[in-house]
């Protein structure tokens, strides 16, 4: 993700040999990576070759206890693990055992729990990065700018529940559709436009969980009742037309 790319670039800048593994990396994140960052062939190879491991993944049912006894067994003895993503990504019991026998030489996290407090070679850091006055001011500015950006262009950036979806706004009329992430939604939307003899100039569709978002730039103008017709498609949540 974006934070992982920033960390990889920063580590390379201070002279580290950096490898990363992300089977779901976005095009945007890939473009932001330094060309000097190596792509690991597999997660197992990354674990086996690294001296430091920095975790940058979301907490999902499949990633809970991501760092566990099995994963640690594939690492170099003396590995140093940095976890500033989510505490539950690391199995505390397995980590403590690995710290005790020296397999893990250091664990740094800003998600400490009672079991980790006072443990030798654990560096617990308060999870306060987003609570400083500077961060709160920046967050407020970002939220207002991105909300205005959405209102004016229909582009979505850094939404919690919707995917990032962004096309440069031109003088074309823009239609945005928030809808459920189910099969044939895009087909129904584009078929509706085709039935009204509307030509699509540019289009993007992105999904995140159960939600999806489609941006369509069209040639010409939109018929008066197009918004209502698109809104009546089963699964559509919200339609906007942006001049």
pLDDT, tens digit (0-9, with 9 covering 90-100), for 23-64: 888 777 788 899 999 999 999 999 999 999 999 999 999 999
For the segment 81-90, the average pLDDT, to the nearest whole number, is: 96
**Structure-token match 């003396």, residue found:** 78
For the domain made up of 133-242, give the CATH fold.
Alpha-Beta Plaits (3.30.70)
Identify the pLDDT of residue 15.
96
CB 205 within 8 A of CB 160: no
Domain boundary assignment for the chain: 2-128, 133-242
Identify the pLDDT of residue 73.
98
Mention the CATH class of domain 2-128: alpha beta
Integer CA distances (angstroms), 54 to 3, 32, 108, 113, 170, in order: 11, 18, 9, 19, 40
d(CA 95, CA 101): 10
Identify the pLDDT of residue 80.
98
This prediction has a pTM of 0.65
Which is more confidently placed, 69 or 25?
69
Give which of 71, 5, 80, 76 is closest to 36, Cα–Cα: 5
Instruction: Kindly report the backbone phi and psi dihedral angles of residue 135, in degrees, each rounded to the nearest multiple of 5, phi listed first.
Output: -65, -40
Cα angle, residue 31 at apex, residues 28 and 32 outer, rounded to 5°: 90
Classified as helix, coil or strand, 186 is: helix
Q: Report, as residue numbers or ranges, the catalytic residues.
A: 86, 115, 127
Dihedral of the CA atoms 225, 226, 231, 234 (nearest 10)?
110
């Amino acid at each position: 993700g974006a934070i992982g790319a920033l960390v990889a670039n920063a580590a390379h800048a201070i002279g580290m040999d950096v490898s990363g593994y992300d089977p779901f990396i976005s095009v945007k994140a890939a473009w932001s990576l330094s060309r000097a960052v190596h792509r690991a062939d597999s997660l197992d190879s990354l674990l086996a070759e690294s001296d430091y491991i920095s975790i940058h993944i979301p907490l999902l049912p499949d990633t809970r206890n991501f760092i566990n006894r099995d994963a640690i067994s594939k690492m170099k003895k003396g590995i140093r693990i940095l976890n500033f993503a989510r505490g539950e990504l690391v199995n505390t019991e397995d980590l403590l055992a690995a710290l005790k026998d020296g397999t893990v030489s250091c664990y740094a996290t800003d998600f400490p729990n009672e079991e980790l407090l006072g443990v030798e070679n654990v560096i617990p850091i308060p999870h306060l990065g987003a609570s400083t006055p500077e961060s709160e001011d920046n967050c407020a500015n970002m939220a207002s700018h991105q909300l205005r950006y959405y209102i004016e262009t229909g582009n979505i950036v850094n939404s919690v529940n919707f995917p990032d979806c962004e096309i440069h706004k031109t003088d074309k009329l823009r239609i945005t559709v928030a809808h459920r992430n189910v099969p044939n939604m895009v087909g129904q939307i584009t078929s509706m436009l085709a039935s009204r003899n509307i030509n699509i100039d540019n289009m993007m569709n992105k999904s995140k969980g159960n939600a999806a978002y489609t941006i369509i730039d069209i040639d010409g103008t939109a018929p008066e009742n197009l918004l209502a017709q698109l809104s009546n498609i089963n699964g559509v949540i919200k339609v906007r037309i942006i001049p």
